[in-house]
């Protein structure tokens, strides 16, 4: 992912890649120390691991910068709290998916769920990935479910239906369903349907290239540079209002 980010930055004349750094003791062409890198940068894009990201956020907060774009996943509650605490001192964007399209889809799903009530419209989230993916539903599918639940002002855990098998009875009003496909080399497809008796609205996204996540992270970095301290996400970058 670091290579993808570097390539996107190099292709944008408005931006400059001023440093690359890795874990302490790591060696490689062009790598410098963390301290040198933080001193040189306006924004750091971090796709590492949860523990390292939480530690980096604390370091940046202690020195008053630079801003951070964090794409690491799998953070526990303590690590999320550490990043949020650091965001009181420096601006930080943290997102589980930096695809501009996926984040736009999340915003649209939330708005649609707010407008299309549960008495008339049933919501189903569908996702498809390659045969090697080990978790289901995908993290992105759950994000879309969370967006739909937020639009309707409900807790996803209380309305989610993760699977159906056998004699299940009628669908419960307000339920948010999930359907999963695994097979072949599908990179990532997600869709959300709002199904009524007389119409079906489908909002969808297909990922075709891993570089799309790097492009989204770079857009986020350009947006967060110079912002006041705070915890931001991609909905802020895309301009969706947040209630």
Q: Which residues are catalytic?
A: 129, 133
Q: Which tokens sit at 230?
A: 């705070």
Name residues whose C-beta falls within 8 Å of residue 214's C-beta, 6 or more positions apart in sequence: 1, 4, 5, 7, 8, 98
Cα torsion through 232, 142, 47, 210, rounded to 10: -120
- In angstroms, how far is CA 219 from the centroid of its own chain? 13
Q: Which of these, 166, 150, 170, lies nearest to 158 by C-alpha position?
A: 150
> Which residues, listed in sequence order, are joined to residue 128 by a DSSP beta bridge?
181, 189
> Which residues, listed in sequence order, are joined to residue 203 by a DSSP beta bridge?
192
Buried b (16+ CB within 10 A) or exposed e, 74-105: ebeeebeebbeebbebbbbbbbbbbbbebbbb
Q: CA–CA separation, 229 vs 223, rounded Å?
A: 13
End-to-end CA distance of the chain: 32
Q: CA–CA separation, 44 vs 68, rounded Å?
A: 5
């Amino acid at each position: 992912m670091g290579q993808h980010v570097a390539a996107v930055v190099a292709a944008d004349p408005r931006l400059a890649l001023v440093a690359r750094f890795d874990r302490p003791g790591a060696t490689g062409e062009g790598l410098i120390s963390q301290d040198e890198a933080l001193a040189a940068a306006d924004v750091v894009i971090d796709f590492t691991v949860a523990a390292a990201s939480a530690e980096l956020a604390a370091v940046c907060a202690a020195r008053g910068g630079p801003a951070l774009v964090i794409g690491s996943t799998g953070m526990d509650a303590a690590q999320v709290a550490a990043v949020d605490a650091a965001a009181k001192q420096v601006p930080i964007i943290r997102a589980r998916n930096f695809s501009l399209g996926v984040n736009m889809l999340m915003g649209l799903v939330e708005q649609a769920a707010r407008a299309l009530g549960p008495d008339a419209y049933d919501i189903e989230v569908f996702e498809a990935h390659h045969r090697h993916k080990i978790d289901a539903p995908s993290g992105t599918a759950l994000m879309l479910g969370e967006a739909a639940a937020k639009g309707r002002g409900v807790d996803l855990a209380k309305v989610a239906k993760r699977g159906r098998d056998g004699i299940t009875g009628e669908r419960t009003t307000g339920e948010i369903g999930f359907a999963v496909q695994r097979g072949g080399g599908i990179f990532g497809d997600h869709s959300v349907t709002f199904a009524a008796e007389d119409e079906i609205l489908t909002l969808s996204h297909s990922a075709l290239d891993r570089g799309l996540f790097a492009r989204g992270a770079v857009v986020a970095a350009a947006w967060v540079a110079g912002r006041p301290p705070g915890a931001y996400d991609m909905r802020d970058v895309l301009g969706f209002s947040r209630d």
